[in-house]
Every structure is written in C-alpha cells, then in structure tokens.
Chains A and B, each alone.
Chain A
C-alpha cells in the first residue's frame, strides 16, 4: 500500500472560548479526491488554515509522505507542494492572466527585463490544458468570476503540486464550467496528486470524490468510502443525533401579517421573491451562499433598492431607502458579519448597544447616559451577556457575547420585524443554543422573526416555516411538518420536488 500524500493526525486548535478543532485526523492518498464535509463552523476552514500554515495547531501532527512537517506559513506550505484554490479569489485585477499566474517568478532576460514571449508561451501552454477561452494577455479584471477561478487553478498547475485543496470551487460556476473544472480535477488525479475537495453540494461530492471525511463542531466524525455510502448517511454524520430532538415543535397562535413581500426583484441578485412573515412566527431562509438571502435582507433594511416589487409592513406599502428609514419603520437587522457590520469593536459595549437610538435617548442636549446604562443592564441580564462592565470594548468579548450585544442592540429598538442573518456563525455551541432559544421566545412574545442561516439544523430548529432558495429564486416554502433534510437539500440544490430519483 502506498503512503498518503498528506496526513493530519489528531489536530487540536483552540481560540479563546472556542475549541475549533478537537482531534481532527484524516489522510489523502495520491490520486485520490477526498471530500471534507461538515456544516459551517464544523472546522473545515480552520483545518485548511492549519494545513496552509496560517494557524499553528495546539497539538497534533501533519505528515507529508513519511515525513512529519511543520507549516510555519503559506510560503512554506506552497514550497512543499500544497496548493490552495480559494473561494475568495486573490488576483490582481489590473494585471494580465500571465502576470497573475507567474507573479513573483516572471521569466527574465538580461538586465532583469521580463521575457514576455516566454511568459506568454508558458502561460498559454497551461491555459491550453484547461481548455479556456481566454489567453495569456487578457486582463484579469475583464474575466468572469468563473474564468478568474480558472486563472487561480492555472497558477496552481505551475508549481509541482502534491496536494491541491479546492474550497467550494463551484460556488460561482455554471454547469458547463463545472464540467471543465471536473476534467481538470480528473487530470490532476491521473497525475497522482492528492486532492481535498470542500463543498456543500452532495451531488458533486458523490460524482467526483473517492472518500469523504466528516467534521462536526470541530470533531472528526470519520471517513467513509464514497461508493459505499449515501447522502442520507453523510448528512446524518454531519448533523448528528441532536437533529431530531431539536426540531421546533412549538405551535402558538400566529398574529397578523407583519411583513409581506410581493414579487420583489433586485437585478441579478434575486428575482420575483414573495413571502410573508406573521407576528409570532419565525421564518427561516435556507440556501447556499449566493442564493440571494442576504441581499433580500439588505433590501428590507434599506441598503439595496429593489428593481421591482413591493414591500408591505402591516399592510402598508413602504419604500426603504436607507437603514434609517427601515429602523424608523420598525425593521431591525442583525447582520451576517458581526465584526464588520454589527459592531464598532473599539467602542464600549453600552455605546454599541444604544447606537441606533442615540438621537432619541436624550437628556437635554446630551445623550442620556443613565438611560443607556439601564438599557444595557436590562439586555445584559436578559441575554446573559458576560462582560466585566459596560465600559469594556466590544472587541474584547468572545464571539457569542459580541453577537448578544448586536442582538440586544436591535431588540432594544422594539422592532416589528427582526431579521437575523447567520446569527450563530463562528460562535460556541453554548451561546448558539441560547440564541436559538431566544429567537423562539421572541416569536412567542409576538415578534415577526426572519432567520437566514446556512446551517440546516439551525433552520430546522427555530423556524415555523422554511423558505428554500436557489440562485436568487424561492424554490419552495415548507411548513415545519412537511420539511425533511432531504427535500430541503433538494430544494436548495435547484432540484424541484418530485424530480429527484
């Protein structure tokens, strides 16, 4: 039996308050396509960052072939033949395809002049292998996202790669482009390269991978041979047994329709979206990244003008041109990027929490700091926010407590409609379940709640109804009685119900 190209053994990595990786082990054989699966936050990207030398593990070993290695940084990983094809592209848009591919190692002539002819030849040779429609001289900024990804792949092919890691490579590819990508992967495989393939799309996983390793909450769940398993078994391993227990069964009386959206479209981002959210109801929005869910939330919060369609609050049509408009109408948004959009990290917890209402919390010409502290104390108690004091800078809290500050900030506005976008991303399991419980309580108190999440158990757990989106459209709306993991996954993968085998 041959040695694996790459082997991770018992990798542990902790961050303050979170055990991100807890004994992750798997190996990739030469010529194998190895899928790494798990929900968001399961530890896939952390594992890959450890492999790429961006994070140092607390304990555990990485082996390449027989040899134990230490990755001190991305350059070292590259020199050992580990190549990453990232979901977010890292290309210089103003430079040509060839320059991007050979950046830092451009072929030279005398006096350090770039040998453009040789550069073009080398590049075109690689591009030919990839069967793409552009050439070495094309400016990268003029290419589609899919073609830019091909440039990244071409870059990977210039080094003597032993292992190539694809992170959600098909997220922005059309079907035709996927075929090309899979051909490239097949070629790499034939050359004996080990491939790690990260994706949420079951269909692809079962089409191109040889084995699947599964992570859940940072823990390694096992590795299965793709041919010997099925989607259901893999989903089970990803989600775990907590799934059935966590199904939302609370049925209380629903109130009036608080928010109604009719035929809303926003350019290419989403089209003809219609739904309603009643008081006392939690509506979950589930779909892949890029399905248009966040963009809908941003429209409802006044951050994006829709190209057509109507938004009705309590039956009245409203036009929302800014977050200030939306807030004034009683819409609150807990945004998906906690640190980038939710908080001002250098500001105190209290000031963050009361920021949307500084104009109304007045004591004469000044901000009523006493009232601010009261609001903060109220939500600190209600949400169990753990912070030494209201003066503590938000940036010094753990992820879960930061998120509670953001939630408190919007609850204190007493909104009619509360929209939460990925409310538990990157926070620990304990805070996660507290936030889930809170969302249910809010619904019971008569709030209309919209939750956007990429985590299936979360959506299943907290939602009364689930809107499944695919590529900018609503595929189906499920009640909590009719939804199953299978029909939900099918809906968000663009498979119409009844069509599946």
Chain B
C-alpha cells in the first residue's frame, strides 16, 4: 500500500526516532556553529566522552542482564580518590592494583546482594550510590585529594598521554570496547548474560546459574568503573570527592540511547558506543551554542525519557498507548 497508516508511521518513528533526532541535532548544530564537525572538536568530544564511555561498557552488561546500576558515579569518585591517595603513599605501581582490588570488592558486594540475595537492583545500587559516597568521604576525611609531585609522575599517562597522536583515554576506550564487545558477543559468558536478561526463568531451565551470571556482570561493571577512575585521576592528578557525581544518569542514558532495553536481554557494546557518542555530541553542541554547562543535566534527563519512551513505543508498535 502506498499510504501508511498512522500506526505504521508511529512504529517507524519509534524504531528510528533516536537516529532521526540525532541527525536533526547534528545538522542544526553544524549550521549554528561550523566548528562543530571539525577534527579538533570531534576528538575533544570523544576524549571527554571516554571516561563516561568506559563506565557505560560495564553497565551495558548489567542492563542486558536485566538489572540496573546507579552506583557507578559514586564508585568512580571512590576509585579516583583512592588511587590518588595511594599514589603518594605506596607509589603508582602498587596504587593501581590496590585501587582495582578495592573497587572490585564493591562490585562483588553489589553482585552478591542482587544475584545471590536476590534484592532489587534499583534499591541496592541507589543505596550504594549514597553508601559509597559516604565511604569516599570517610576515606578522604572530606578533603580534596592531590598528588604532591604532579610534574614528576608517569601516572598522568592514562589521562593526558598520547600514542600515535591519539589521546590515551580514547585508545583505552576503544581497546576496552573492542575487548568487551567480543566478550559479550562471542563468549559463553556473554551468551548467558543475554539469556538471563531475556528470560531468567528459561535461563534457569537451561541450567544457567543466574546468580553467578548477575554477580559477574556487577564485578565486570566495577572493573570498568575502576578503569574510569584511573583515567579521571590521571587526567587531573587531583580530585574532589564528588568527581563522579551524577555520572550514573549519563551512563544509563548512553546505554539506553544505544538501544539496550531496560527490561534486559537486548543491546550490544557497539550500540552503547554509539549512545555514548550521541550523548557527547549533543552535550558538546549545546555548549557550542552558548548554553550553560548546567543545562546538560536537564538535557540528559530529557534524553533518558525520550529513549525509554521510544524503546517502549517500539515494543508496543505505537507511540501513544496510555494505561487502559
């Protein structure tokens, strides 16, 4: 049929809406400010998205597995503060593995609560958001953490270095994305994550140990957070206790924007990377348009709502379907 019904148009809009909206944004931004698509600006967007991006890679596993992780922002603050503190006390060689071990313990704890005790992941990670923040403040005594000798440490390489002319954070993001993309798409563990998030009961009936799978997702997510904390600490060589505050929403926005369903069972690492970039470009575009930095908090929320709505609308096949 040549003419499409309203419902069909709605369905297409719902499925492709994010990409269409993104295209419109990009074109509008480029017209508003020709610098928007310059190499320098693009590199700067990717670079500033790398930390959030690394966190989003881990959260992708958690979300595909059917759970949420709202604790990644404050966990990243924790990693950053810890590694900066240990840098001066035990040196960077030991500080980095020690910080990873501590952060992984937090992830394991969350994984235990959600996977083995079967507590609701929203409640657990919302609580951990606050609890880890408290832990960080206790650790630091509330003070900012700074490396004493900022010039003389090789530690800055993770945040400030370049290799082959490309900033190290970008390389780390790309490498980790490639590695985790393969883990998710090609390994037995990745397959189980999809199964557990897609239909937990059927996964159990197939002999998959759900608790272990969920546990490993959180462990992996905390590993990504530790990496992000390392990049953050290395970039600034000093930090406030609140450096990661609010990042959890940006991370979640990127993951959902990429098309991972909040109901679990779908999404890919590649799509998450796209989501991260879309979010980065939109925030950057708003800055170039002269909007205040703080506007991005509102915009992030709007993007989450939009993405969730389109996700649900695509499933229902129509945009408007209120509770009957």
Contact = CB atoms under 8 A, between A and B. Distances in A.
Please indicate whether A and B come from the same complex rather than being unrelated chains.
Answer: yes
Interface of A: 301, 303, 322-324, 326-327, 333, 335, 340-347, 351, 355-356, 358-359, 361-362, 365-367, 369, 409
Select the residue from A323, A327, A358, A361 with max chain B CB neighbours within 10 A.
A358
B266 interface: yes
A388 to B, nearest CB: 20
Interface in B157-210: 182, 186-188, 191-192, 194-195, 198-199, 201-209
A303 B191 CA distance: 22
Contacts of A326: 207
8 contacts: A324-B207, A342-B202, A342-B205, A346-B266, A347-B265, A356-B206, A362-B188, A367-B186
Given A323-B205, A340-B199, A344-B265, 12 more contacts: A322-B207, A322-B209, A323-B204, A344-B194, A344-B199, A344-B202, A351-B194, A355-B208, A356-B206, A356-B207, A366-B182, A369-B186
A365 B188 CA distance: 9
B63 to A, nearest CB: 14
Contact of A347 (B198, B201, B204, B208): B198
Contact of B187 (A303, A341, A366): A366
Is the interface on chain B under 10, 10 to 19, 20 to 34, or 35 or more residues? 20 to 34
A333 B186 CA distance: 27
A248 to B, nearest CB: 28
Select the residue from B182, B186, B195, B202 with max chain A CB neighbours within 10 A.
B202
A241 B207 CA distance: 41
Contact of A367 (B187, B198, B207): B187
Contacts, number: 69
A340 B195 contact: no
- Tell me the dominant secondary structure on chain A's binding face: mixed
Contact of A366 (B186, B198, B208): B186
Interface in B260-313: 265-266
Select the residue from A322, A346, A359 with max chain B CB neighbours within 10 A.
A346
B48 to A, nearest CB: 33
A164 B25 CA distance: 58
A323 B266 contact: no
Contact of B203 (A322, A335, A344, A369): A344
Nearest to A348: B194
B191 A355 contact: yes
Nearest to B183: A365
Given A323-B206, A356-B206, A344 B198 contact: yes
Contact of A324 (B182, B191, B195, B209): B209
Contacts of A366: 182, 186-187
A354 to B, nearest CB: 9
Contacts of B265: 344, 346-347
A482 to B, nearest CB: 35
A341 B205 contact: yes
A358 B195 CA distance: 11
Interface in B227-248: none
A335 B207 CA distance: 13
